[in-house]
Amino acid sequence: MKFRSELLQNADYRRLLAGQTISSVGSAMSTFVFTLLALAITHSTVQAGLVGAAHALGSSVTMLPAGALVDRWSRRTVLLVCSAGGGVMYASVAIATYLDRLSIVHLIVVSALSGVTRAFFLPAQVVALRQIVRPQDLGQAMAANEGRQHLATLTGGPLGGALYAVFAWLPIAVDAISYFVLTVLLKTMKNKLPAPARSGRESVLTSIKEGGRWLVRQRAIRLIAVVATLLNFAASGILLVLIMNLQRHGVRPSVIGLLETGVGVGGILGAMASPLILKRFTTGRIAIGAAWLIAASFAATASTANPFVLIPMVALAVFAVPALNSSLFGYQVLVTPDGLQGRAQSAITFLATSMSPLAPVLAGLMLAHVGAVWSVLLFVGVLLLSAVLLTASSAIRDIPLLAEVPRAETAPADGGPEASAKAEPTATPAELEPSTQK
């Protein structure tokens, strides 16, 4: 990826990106290895599944309160506590595994607490990026975030498996070290990432409600949240249908695994291309074009069960995702006042993942009753709905180049009328007044 020299000269940004990249790879290893450890302990796929469910539950339950609290606390403190806490938790698993004292309860508790720290870390790291990076460099920085996430997905599983084959505790120990490396890099950042100014002492529930009301009043951001939810749901469903259909056709697991490789490669290439795309096209055009490309690419997967045809189609669909995310969520970060950043991030993430548990259920049911072709096409219908919603929205179409979107002024943390008035896009671009866990 080609960075502007100004962005690379930003020492705090370099520390944040390096720390998160190292830690993201470590987290991807642990995610893969936790399932293997659970199966080795219990010999039960049901109990092993509880480990992943605990992480999702911990994250979902605390997501909205975490956003409200991130809007009250120093973002740097939140990041440090989450990263140091992660290091301690994963070190405990590595030590217990080394001593042959690891239990399924230990794994479930750590997984749940990891979900909780993720709920706090995600909004805090996005706000940190907004505070340390110049507005004109934000899109490029968010594209780099997309790239590191896909890099972690691509390398974490194979690396974790290779280390697990040497010693079962080794990949977890490496992840614990990655958390501590992230903690040190965060600690050395010069920007203190202070908490926003607060105008009142309202309860957490009141803060959540105020943030929700502010988000609902923003036409563009409201639509971004809806589209993110639909896209996550439909894309997850299609990938699951494709994987299960390849299994039904007797395709070797090693070949099916290449589908995930295609996802990682497509995402990395898309992240590398995103800075140029963000520079040449308006945010509205990027969002609309990417949504249609994703829908068309996934629609093409309904026509074949040949994995070597499916892989480039899936890669092409995922190629469009970094530019889509960088443009829309970069805009959202810019137009959201500082005192509402945590709640906005948490609310959008909560909505975007709210339908994800339904995807595997519906994928299995539809594959069994209507077949692979219609299953894919039904999910594609959801993708097409997203593309139509973006295309029909003047609030989206009129968003200019991301570098031209002014950052929202600091607004009261209670999300009052002053905040919403400063962030709502109007009909003309000239009047506009403005992503992990790790």
Domain spans in the chain, listed from the N-terminal domain onward = 1-191, 204-438
CATH superfamily of 204-438: MFS general substrate transporter like domains (1.20.1250.20)
Asked if residue 25 lies in contact with residue 156, where contact means CB atoms within 8 angstroms, the answer is yes
Token pair, residue 352, equals 């975007």
pLDDT higher for 409 or 244? 244
Q: Which residue has the tokens 């139509």?
A: 388
Per-residue pLDDT, averaged over 176-193, amounts to 94
Per-residue pLDDT, averaged over 143-161, amounts to 87
pLDDT surpassing 80 at residue 410:
no
Per-residue pLDDT, averaged over 281-306, amounts to 93
Asked if residue 222 lies in contact with residue 215, where contact means CB atoms within 8 angstroms, the answer is yes
Token pair, residue 222, equals 């409201």
Highest mean predicted confidence (pLDDT) among 233-237, 383-387, 407-411, 418-422: 383-387
The C-alpha angle with vertex 312 and arms to 311 and 318, in degrees rounded to 5, equals: 90
Query: CB-hemisphere CA count at 13 Å for 211?
Result: 30
Asked if residue 389 lies in contact with residue 226, where contact means CB atoms within 8 angstroms, the answer is yes
Q: Which CATH class is domain 1-191?
A: mainly alpha
Asked if residue 340 lies in contact with residue 414, where contact means CB atoms within 8 angstroms, the answer is no
Asked if residue 41 lies in contact with residue 164, where contact means CB atoms within 8 angstroms, the answer is no
- Measured CA to CA, the distance from residue 56 to residue 175 in angstroms comes to 19
Token pair, residue 272, equals 């590398």
pLDDT surpassing 70 at residue 411:
no
* Mean residue pLDDT across the chain: 85
Name which of 405, 386, 406, 152 is nearest 278 in CA terms: 405
Q: Give the CA-trace dihedral at 25, 30, 35, 37, to 10 degrees.
A: 140
Instruction: Band the pLDDT of 395: cuts 50, 70, 90.
Output: very high
Which pLDDT score is estimated for 369? 86
Asked if residue 80 lies in contact with residue 186, where contact means CB atoms within 8 angstroms, the answer is yes
- Measured CA to CA, the distance from residue 351 to residue 371 in angstroms comes to 29
- Residue 254 burial class via C-beta count within 10 angstroms: exposed 0-12, middle 13-18, buried 19 and up: exposed
- Residue 43 burial class via C-beta count within 10 angstroms: exposed 0-12, middle 13-18, buried 19 and up: exposed
- Measured CA to CA, the distance from residue 230 to residue 321 in angstroms comes to 14
- How far is residue 322 CA from its own chain's centroid? 11
DSSP letters, 416-431, are: -HHHHHTT---SSGGG
Q: Give the CA-trace dihedral at 182, 185, 186, 187, to 10 degrees.
A: 120
- Measured CA to CA, the distance from residue 307 to residue 239 in angstroms comes to 12
Per-residue pLDDT, averaged over 128-145, amounts to 87
> Cβ neighbours of residue 320 under 8 Å, at least 6 residues apart?
270, 289, 290, 291, 293, 294, 297
Per-residue pLDDT tens over the stretch 205-247: 888 998 888 888 888 899 999 999 999 899 988 988 888 888 8
Per-residue pLDDT, averaged over 262-269, amounts to 91
Which pLDDT score is estimated for 231? 93
What phi and psi values does residue 4 have, to the nearest 5 degrees? Answer: -65, 145
pLDDT surpassing 50 at residue 308:
yes
Q: What is the separation, in whole angstroms, between the first and last Cα of the chain?
A: 20
Per-residue pLDDT, averaged over 148-152, amounts to 88
DSSP 175: H
pLDDT surpassing 80 at residue 253:
no
pLDDT surpassing 60 at residue 429:
no
Q: Do domains 1-191 and 204-438 have the same CATH topology?
A: yes
